[in-house]
Amino acid sequence: MLMIAGKGIVDSDFMILNSAAFFDQALPLCAAYQNKYLFLDRDSTGQNCSRIALASEKNYLDCSIWYKDSTDLNEWLIKAGNKDKLHFREHLNACKLLDSGSQLSGS
């Protein structure tokens, strides 16, 4: 589970899918947003969903490169050291997904 503590999210919405089976239904809902960041699993299903989204329009960014050696973001957060988490947090701040007072942790 990705937990965000501190001051929290600034002007961001998140859509969390419990299954890739909901991906096709989610795409039309995402159309209203200017920028879309994908944190999908690194398995073949997640990567296929990323390819579909990236091919559908240019405003998607596949963020799974940050946890390319893990099966998903949660696994990476559990295994990652503080330095890696700080670097990832800085990337999220640059994307305006978190404010500077937020902290990330995996459980």
In tens, the pLDDT along 6-23 reads: 545 455 677 888 889 999
User: Looking at the domain assignment, is residue 31 inside a domain?
Assistant: no
Q: How many domains does the chain have?
A: 1
The separation between the first and the last C-alpha atoms of the chain, rounded to the nearest angstrom, is 6
User: Looking at the domain assignment, is residue 42 inside a domain?
Assistant: yes
From the list 51, 37, 29, 50, the residue with the least C-alpha distance to 95 is 37
What's the rounded Cα separation, in Å, for the pair 93 and 36?
A: 15
- Specify whether the CB–CB gap between 48 and 57 falls below 8 A: no
Residue 107 scores a pLDDT above 80: no
User: Looking at the domain assignment, is residue 57 inside a domain?
Assistant: yes
More confident residue, 69 or 99: 69
User: Looking at the domain assignment, is residue 20 inside a domain?
Assistant: no
User: Looking at the domain assignment, is residue 23 inside a domain?
Assistant: no
Note the pLDDT tens digit of each residue in 60-71: 888 898 888 899
Range of the domain at 98: 2-12+36-106
